[in-house]
Structure 1
Amino acid sequence: MHNIADNLNRVHRQIQQIADRAGRDAGEIQLLAVSKGQPAAAIRMAYELGQRHFGENYLQEALEKQQALVDLTDICWHFIGPLQSNKTRKIAEQFDWIHSVDRYRVAQRLSARRPETVAPLNVCLQVNIDDEPSKSGVIVEALPTLADEVIKLPRLNLRGLMCIPRSQTDLQQQRRAFAHLATQLGSLRHSTQLARLDTLSMGMSDDLEAAILEGATIVRIGTAIFGPRQSTA
């Protein structure tokens, strides 16, 4: 864990350098530290270094870490894993963002279970941008209908789109998938009720450059910050 400070600085420098090449303001790109498989102590260390946004994939693991870090009152928790209908209550109660909404029924459950005492839940729709049968996400053709439905739910704040493209090593191929997602966001924003969408959650360690070049506003980075996954005890 002693390398977290160096790793965070390295990732921030990388984001800055890519943003400069893209002619973008690095300040508009949110670093989401993916902390799945990492102990609460590692999250606390990153928090003390100024990191505030953390992403978790597994509900029970996340709940245990949230309890251990309950004193960090301004920490922002993002759920980025697959959503199961029977877990929507705890997710709606305990998280600030959800990146993986891909069905209206799940969105309805999240809205119904979001407490009235807190702000509406920020959500991104996960898009199966490469139409891969093995991956979660709404297909592109069904995206406008889902967005129109979700935007009307009272306890959700639809912010934008998320994707996990097919693994590619070629920069141009990586950019193609992210450009496709950015185009979908642009198309949705032509609708009056969807004009306020502002988020593209895309890009991880291996395709960070392509994602930022194509307009990512949230990048999800784990191992490059924390190192290999550890015990969550």
Structure 2
Amino acid sequence: MTRTILAQAVETRAGAGDVLYRGADHAETAVFGVVVDGLLRFYVHAPDGRSMTVRYAGRGELVGVRGLALETSTGPASQRYGGRALNGEALQNSTLLLLPRTTVTALARRRAELSWALTGEIARQAMLDQELIATNVFSPIRARVARHLLMLGVKQGQELVLRVSHQEIADAIGSVREVVSRALCRFQDEGLVERRGRLTVLRDPRALYQASLG
């Protein structure tokens, strides 16, 4: 089964800022696969122009599995899964291994172990999404920013660093740049983060985690 799927897999790359799909029109821009390297984010737009991240996907994460499941039902998946408000983009230069949708769907209908694994992954992602959305909606700004710093940090040598702007963090948590900048300045004053040019270095991830708890 694994060999059958991998034999039809196709590797693709997305540059930082590339939109994987816009508006969740799965019939035209379907993405189903594994993140080999890099970082993706999935976000929704508000009518006033703000956005909020509902999921991050890094190395080893499966993306598009819920859209795949919905396509087995009647009607376009885009009408039920996020509608035209849901978008996906690469935050970093990323590599994806695109898996054959038709083959996986056919195998899942015949192999209970594959169906069960996909169901478990859908449930896991739904729980993480709910936790992230709850943080963005109910937690104070300090906790929201701390959580996203930890989620966006990538290893560089012995350090965790971020290559995203204050505006990108604001977009992720549904806030504005000025508010995020104030929170980051406080973290810097407390020695939790350090600015090095365009990079933000997470100097004390443990303290940031405590701050993320609100």
TM-score range, shorter chain: under 0.3
- TM-score (ref. length: structure 1): 0.25
- TM-score (ref. length: structure 2): 0.26
Larger gyration radius, structure 1 or structure 2: 2
Q: In proportion to residue count, which structure has more strand? A: 2
